[in-house]
Amino acid sequence: MVAATAPTLLVLLLVAAPPTAWGAPRLHGSPGRILLDGQPTEVRWTDGDSFKVESGPLKGFGTRLFGYNTLEAFGPVHRIAGLGPVALEQLATSSAALLAATTWSCRTEGKRDGYGRALISCPDAAAALVLAGHAMVYAVEARPDPALLALQRQAQAAGRGMWAGGVPPEIITSLHSAGEKDLKGKPPYDRLCDTRTGLTRLRQHRSSYRTCQEVCVGEGPLGSCMVYVPFERRYRDRPGCLLRPAAGAP
């Protein structure tokens, strides 16, 4: 594998890649290698915007890639305009393996996100994913990258990836129910991302969401929805809305 210099090559793979079979076994992450601050580093991609470091000074750290966001890959939880949960989960789960096939040049940002993960910048990977419609520009307490926004407008105009069903004004990217331990007494909130500017905002509420409850902003072609699943049940004791049908089931 060689360092990527042309994100367009990955775009072709992302657009042409067949969707993951709905009854296929779920693998936890895809092993790969990146150049992290110039040093070859073994990683395991867990989705399209995060990986676990498996060698070097940051070994054992979880990471969050800076400047963009991909859809959740733990189950069929998203709905964007006319595109449903199954198609969007398949899109989300395909990103990790395709990223793992290339050695991207990345750098540490010297910061942590709200979950304690190291923030990492991988500009070429970000550009490839956004242009293919596998990711959206996503800014939290930072200015969105104008170059990424231009690529996102191209993907939206072409109806690629997550934009195949339309482009709603906002997309729900995370849900937090009243009473969650991680809130530490703060009001519950949903995070929304503006699909034109990449800026995010918090929508505070007082609701106690039920497991598998769908929460929306907007309606129809202007709507975006996400299914609420508590973090502790996303990978263990998984609720029915995350379970895949058995092979051959209708």
In a domain, 118, yes or no: yes
Residue 12 has what pLDDT? Answer: 55
Each residue's pLDDT expressed in tens, for the chain with a length of 250 residues: 434 444 555 555 565 554 443 333 344 689 999 999 999 999 999 999 999 999 999 899 899 998 999 999 999 999 999 999 999 999 999 999 889 999 999 999 887 777 778 899 999 999 999 999 999 999 988 899 999 999 999 999 999 999 999 999 999 999 999 989 878 788 999 999 999 999 999 999 999 999 999 999 999 999 999 999 999 999 899 999 998 654 444 4
Does residue 205 form part of some domain? yes
- CA–CA dist 217, 96 (Å, integer): 27
pLDDT of residue 179: 87
Is residue 98 one of the residues assigned to a domain? yes
Query: Which residues does 89 contact at the CB level (< 8 Å), separation at least 6?
Result: 71, 73, 75, 76, 77, 78
Q: How many domains does the chain have?
A: 1
CB 221 within 8 A of CB 166: yes
Residue 228 lies in a domain: yes
**CB-based burial of residue 180 (10 Å sphere; 0-12 exposed, 13-18 middle, 19+ buried)?**
middle
Q: What is the DSSP letter of 201?
A: E
pLDDT of residue 15: 56
Output the pTM of the full model.
0.86
The whole-number pLDDT of residue 74 equals 93
The residue range of the domain holding 101 is 7-234
Assess if residue 2 is contained within a domain: no
CB-CB contact of 194 with 110 (8 Å):
no
Q: Is 243 part of a structural domain of the chain?
A: no
The CATH number given to whatever domain includes residue 96 is 2.40.50.90
DSSP label of 26: P
User: Is residue 246 situated within a structural domain?
Assistant: no
Is residue 20 situated within a structural domain? yes
Predicted confidence at residue 247, as pLDDT, reads 45
CA distances from 130 to 10, 76, 149, 175, 232 (A): 11, 20, 9, 23, 29
